[in-house]
Amino acid sequence: MPELPEVETVRRGLAPVMEGQVIAHAAINRPDLRWPFPQDMAARLTGARVLALRRRSKYLLADLDRAETLLIHLGMSGRMLVSGAPVGRFVHDHPAPEKHDHVVFDMASGARITFNDPRRFGAMDLMATATAETHPLLAKLGPEPLGNGFHEAHLATALDGRRTPIKAALLDQRIVAGLGNIYVCEALFRAGISPRRGAGTLGPTRIARLTSAIRDVLADAIAAGGSSLRDYRQADGELGYFQHAFDVYGREGAPCRKPGCGGQIARLVQSARSSFYCPRCQR
């Protein structure tokens, strides 16, 4: 599932063709994705102007001039692809419709944004902009890790007294929003912290390293266009490249990249997910 860097990359790709533009026609080609679409969704979107395109955690939020906000979640395999408008250095012609093109926005500018989702784990919803933060999917989210609300004091307070492993704690979206398995593994490696360590035992020094590592790994991933492992594509259809810079994720048995370590990357299963780490330099 796309994590914060992938969703932020998609947002940045969509913003030039959506922000300030009118949705001339919205086509909804099925009644639902993960959940049913909101009532009269096509009619509520057609003719609306997109005032701003935001991201909250792993969700895209398009604020409309009708006092409503469109929430978009990419799910496991969702892609939002742009055609008919310059994206980066290229202009992509409108492709032939595909089987899993479930939602299509034709913009007044001539651009088209197509939401394609073979597995249909994605979701869309419409909500009042004024109360968007109270939506059930957003209400309990923690601070954005690249925002001012995420800092050492917050993380220390959130982890205080927790007996759960730090890996599981960082996947809790109430503690910090947008992190998933890939970037938690990578951040823990950069911070030199074992995924087995109890969340409440980190102490100020480790918390400081971890806070910085989370910010740094997310910034690096965004700069690389995210990580493409299976279905993820940027808005222009290109792959992300951060997977080529993974230090631990998916590298079981490979040598540790930390200079002078000499260890090998190991894998363990925590909460039904694989954790990758170096047992020698992560404590």
Which one-letter DSSP state was computed for residue 110? S
Q: Is 2 a catalytic residue?
A: yes
CB contact at 8 A, 112 and 94 = yes
* Residue in 11, 55, 58, 167 annotated catalytic: 58
Closest listed residue to residue 103, CA positions, set 149, 155, 44, 53:
44
In whole angstroms, give the CA distance from residue 11 to residue 16: 9
Which one-letter DSSP state was computed for residue 201? G
Q: Is 3 a catalytic residue?
A: yes
* Residue in 2, 5, 143, 165 annotated catalytic: 2
Q: Is 58 a catalytic residue?
A: yes
Task: Give 234's strand partners.
Answer: none
* Residue in 3, 6, 8, 68 annotated catalytic: 3
Which one-letter DSSP state was computed for residue 32? B
* Residue in 16, 273, 279, 280 annotated catalytic: 273
Which one-letter DSSP state was computed for residue 198? B
Q: Is 167 a catalytic residue?
A: no
What is the torsional sign of CA 175, 179, 181, 184? negative
Q: Which helix (H) or strand (E) holds 212?
A: helix 203-223
Q: How many helices (H) and strands (E) does the chain have?
A: 6, 12
Which residues are known catalytic residues? 2-3, 58, 273
